[in-house]
Chain A
Amino acid sequence: MTTKTRARVRNRGVSSVFTAVVIAIAVAVGVAAVAITWPMIKSNFDKSSWAGSMGLYKIGFTYTKSGAYAYAQNGVSAPLGSSPSPVGYCLAYQVNATTAIYSCPSNQPTG
């Protein structure tokens, strides 16, 4: 085998190893990218779902034998006071016998 031929064979070996390493790195990068990206994608979905549920969050008011009550979602209720206090994720208080003022996540923004 001449020196030229030996060099050609060695070159071929090196480029095979190079290709194998590049492929291995590419696969590792792909796996890592998916592993990193997935929580971010999931967090986007979770945030959209949360924003949707908050956009529908409402409150109602009614009298009972024990006084005026505020009813928020998920079975949350509390007596209406004369100063603002939380009821579920809303803020509410009674201004007179028949009127309440409230702010809920479904209300329009002030700004």
Chain B
Amino acid sequence: MTEPIGFIIAMVILTTAVVIGLYGYWAYANHVTLQNYLWPIAEVVPYKGSYYLAIVNTGYEPFVVKQVYLSGGSTISANTKPLTHNQWWFTETSQLPTAVKVCSAIDPRVCTVVSVHGWAMAEVGVPPDAILVVVEGSNTQGQGRLLLRGSGNCPWSLTWYGWAGNSISGTGNLTFLIQPVYGEVHFIPTNLVGPSEASPGSVVIFNVNCPSNNGLPPWLW
């Protein structure tokens, strides 16, 4: 009589242990799986004296942004709306952000901390069959300071000939392409200071030279 009871007790203990063990493993596996599918990307660029931070959900598991870690050691708490696939969240910080903590919108206990990607500068390329013409009111080559007071009202014009020919006029800043062009182009500027010719694939910068400044020293403008 005692043997069947002992057997049943042993089975119950064994089954309970197995079920508890499996449940624990299942909970752990679920946690890791969900964490592995949190795919945030955090990026920062400097902007107007502060830092512009952006976070995007590149995955399909929704998450909320919980915290932003700054270079000074401080943190900013955030509790955003859930970000779904390809949704962005932006903020500006006074200190450089270094990392961001996001938590699953489905299970808030599942979180991950990701680094913030920094910035770089790049040249805006000019097509090989074009010349980029930049007419500027502000200085880019160290000589514009002499040129600019009142340039917004200073009419200028630019004529070009050679591989391509045309003319354009204006009163302020302007950026445009001469395209297509496969050889040298020569310029005839009016109220502009800049190069007299350019090759395809290059950038030429003209500074507005307002005639009202002619003959006056800069401190009298």
Contact = CB atoms under 8 A, between A and B. Distances in A.
B36 A47 contact: yes
Nearest to A106: B117
A84 B88 CA distance: 13
B58 A54 contact: yes
Contact of A107 (B54, B117, B127, B203): B117
Contact of B7 (A17, A32, A99, A107): A17
A106 B119 CA distance: 10
Given A68-B124, A86-B56, A99-B124, A93 B115 contact: no
Interface string A84-111: 1010011111111111111111111111
7 tightest CB-CB pairs across the interface, nearest first? A111-B98, A109-B115, A43-B36, A103-B43, A97-B134, A62-B125, A107-B117
Interface in B142-180: 175, 177, 179
23 contacts: A14-B3, A14-B4, A18-B10, A18-B11, A36-B29, A40-B36, A47-B36, A50-B58, A62-B124, A63-B127, A63-B177, A86-B54, A90-B43, A93-B45, A98-B134, A99-B123, A99-B124, A101-B119, A103-B119, A103-B120, A107-B117, A109-B117, A111-B69
Contacts of A33: 22, 25
Question: B interface, how many residues as a size bin?
Answer: 35 or more
Interface of A: 10-11, 14, 17-18, 21-22, 25, 28-29, 32-33, 36-37, 39-40, 43-44, 46-47, 50, 54, 59-65, 67-68, 80, 83-84, 86, 89-111
